[in-house]
Structure 1
Amino acid sequence: MDSKFGLRSFSIVMTLLLTMAPKLQAELTTVEHAPNSDGSISFLVIGDWGRRGLYNQSQVALQMGRIGEKMDIDFVVSTGDNIYDNGMKSIDDPVFQLSFTNIYTSPSLQKPWYLVLGNHDYRGDVEAQLSPILKSMESRWICMRSFIVDAEVAELFFVDTTPFVDAYFIHPEDQTYDWRGVSPRESYLQTILTELEMSLRESRANWKIVVGHHAIKSASIHGNTKELESLLLPILEANKVDLYVNGHDHCLQHISTSQSPIQFLTSGGGSKAWRGYYNWSKPEDMKFFYDGQGFMSVKVTRTEMNVVFYDVSGNILHKWNTSKMLYTDFAFPM
């Protein structure tokens, strides 16, 4: 199958299905996470990390602990590829303890971890990472396919992006993916997009953040994910999403284009990095690019958002902030 023709045809079909979909109440699972007394939340973002401490994973974890303590973070977000190279073999796979429990030991990281799945996670036993048994073994671990974290001042919408990518189905090469719970694919994707669109539309949070594994826009080796540009991006733009945060490419980057109000942030430097690849034709859109290991922090208040990128030594590489008014901040005469 020609990949361009396949993507175009699939996009048309999905658009028609979404148009025809009944307007039902959103059914994405929502996790309530209370904000601080001043209404703020703060969290770290890490992606592409689970390598038994190797490739500087332990060093990144150490700095995450230090920054997490300074910020007094509320939780950690993982952008996927939680366990390399081929996910977990079973619920009892020791790789979980070796790559997670034994690595992120700092007191400040003993907070909830909200995780999405990456393509490497799908190469193993997906149900193991999603299992409530795993959560009973490690209470920090909150991993679902697509879900919402409602922190009042902000809502984080986690999207299972791996099933969107045609190549994993059409040209899997020598890899085997665990598609239990995904097939039939078209119906699965329709459900995600419909429920996400309704959830975003119904959200009253001042800040909307969407988290997925695959990049919508990236200058690194994987580049833009065409399926997400076609199917996901229009929904995010129509519903005034502030950030799209991803991993997949093993780097840190911030892209902001004149064509979209969304900030595209990559935090995929949790372990193996330094790929030596960069391809972006519009330098004015690239606000920051670092082809190395590190992580990201986000702090959100009622009216301000602050994002910081750090390297493997905890050095600040890039900062970005913005502000917005709340509707309740406007005084309307009676």
Structure 2
Amino acid sequence: MGRIGKKLDIDFVVSTGDNFYDNGLTGEYDTGFEDSFTKVYTANSLQKQWYSILGNHDYRGNAEAQLSPVLRRIDSRWLCLRSFLVNEEIAELFFLDTTPFVEMYFSDAENHTYDWRGITSRRTYTAHLLKDIESALSQSTARWKIVVGHHAIRSVGHHGDTQELVNRLLPTLQAYNVDFYMNGHDHCLEQISDTKSPIQFITSGAGSKAWRGDVKGLNEEGLKFLYDGQGFVSVQLTQTDSVIEFYDVFGEVLHRWNVSKELHVAS
């Protein structure tokens, strides 16, 4: 990853959640933060801003610890918030806290304890998130619109589609011509094209472990690429072109996809 980062001269890194597996952090001074982040991503090319969101496994620990400025003082690269917007001139990235959308985490079905501090009402919290992202997308003039969430909207991996996001989030992304929805959760690499809009669903959830052979394949419509090993993804953008490359753990390109947009200049 460091070698590819140097080759591409990357601007920043995105973490799609489950930052500290299996049960998040215990607190702001949990040694797991440095052991799993600072001491791992040591390459010079990776000494850039990291934008991170929470995954369901992060909520199993002290979720608020990952949001704390204490971690940014320990390692200035780290920035993790529940939901936020990053404006990178030609692109805007909309980071969305997807875990509270998933109903089963609020039941006893998983036999896990979740840190829901700051989320007093699931219904109210998710309704506000949907309103906020619709407002942000409607006002965006960015050339490229990218939404990042932990859970997949479309996936043929172990977890499959997240129905709550299909029902509640996807219509908004389609309405405002989002280019990419990027997620983790399933431990694989995937690209799936939406059948009703230009959206490309990009799964990059194989950073630390993969579930080889654990592929449901229940809904393969639009499937362009699937790799059930470890790896990561790069995104390169210009005013007119985007290039997405999927890599294995050795940095070998497994799949490459690009799309162009016409550039209209007022005379």
TM-score, with structure 1 as normaliser: 0.78
Cα deviation per residue 1:145-180 (whole Å; 9 max; x = unaligned)? Answer: 000110010000000000000000123432000001
Aligned mates of 1:87, 1:282 — CA distance in 2: 31
Instruction: Confirm or deny that 1:145 pairs with 2:92.
Output: no
Structure 1, unpaired ranges of 5+: 1-63
Counterpart selection for 2:42 from 105, 108, 123: 105
Cα deviation per residue 1:114-172 (whole Å; 9 max; x = unaligned)? Answer: 00100000000111100011111110001000001100100000000000000001234
1:323 paired residue number: 260
Aligned mates of 1:281, 1:138 — CA distance in 2: 41
Counterpart selection for 2:228 from 287, 291, 296: 291
Counterpart selection for 2:95 from 158, 167, 170: 158
Of the structure 1 ranges 283-292 and 205-214, higher mean CA displacement relative to structure 2 is found in 283-292
C-alpha contact (below 8 Å) 1:206/1:326 kept by paired residues: no
Aligned mates of 1:299, 1:273 — CA distance in 2: 25
Secondary structure at the residue paired with 2:56? coil
C-alpha contact (below 8 Å) 2:104/2:110 kept by paired residues: no
Matches within 5 A, 1:198-237: 198-237=135-174
Matches within 5 A, 1:159-308: 159-281=96-218, 283=220, 285-308=222-245
Aligned mates of 1:310, 1:240 — CA distance in 2: 27
Aligned mates of 1:91, 1:281 — CA distance in 2: 40
Aligned mates of 1:83, 1:112 — CA distance in 2: 18
Cα deviation per residue 1:183-207 (whole Å; 9 max; x = unaligned)? Answer: 1111111111101000000001010
Aligned mates of 1:99, 1:166 — CA distance in 2: 29
Aligned mates of 1:96, 1:168 — CA distance in 2: 24
Aligned mates of 1:284, 1:267 — CA distance in 2: 19
Aligned mates of 2:231, 2:201 — CA distance in 1: 17
Greater relative contact order structure (CA < 8 Å, 6+ sep): 1
Aligned mates of 2:119, 2:204 — CA distance in 1: 26
Q: Tell me the CA shift for residue 288 of structure 1.
A: 0.4
Query: Percent identity over the alignment?
Result: 59
Residue type at the aligned position of 2:45? S
C-alpha contact (below 8 Å) 1:214/1:246 kept by paired residues: yes
TM-score, with structure 2 as normaliser: 0.97
Q: Tell me the CA shift for residue 208 of structure 1.
A: 0.0
Number of matched residues? 267
Matches within 5 A, 1:22-37: none
Spell out structure 1 runs of 4+ moving beyond 3 A: 281-284
Residue type at the aligned position of 2:114? Y
Secondary structure at the residue paired with 1:133? helix
Q: Tell me the CA shift for residue 275 of structure 1.
A: 3.5
Counterpart selection for 1:86 from 13, 16, 23: 23
Q: Tell me the CA shift for residue 320 of structure 1.
A: 0.5
1:75 paired residue number: 12
Q: Provide closer, same or farther for how the CA distance between residues 127 and 294 of structure 1 changes in structure 2, counting only shifts above 3 A.
A: same
Aligned mates of 2:36, 2:227 — CA distance in 1: 24
Bigger Rg over Cα: 1
Aligned mates of 1:147, 1:326 — CA distance in 2: 28
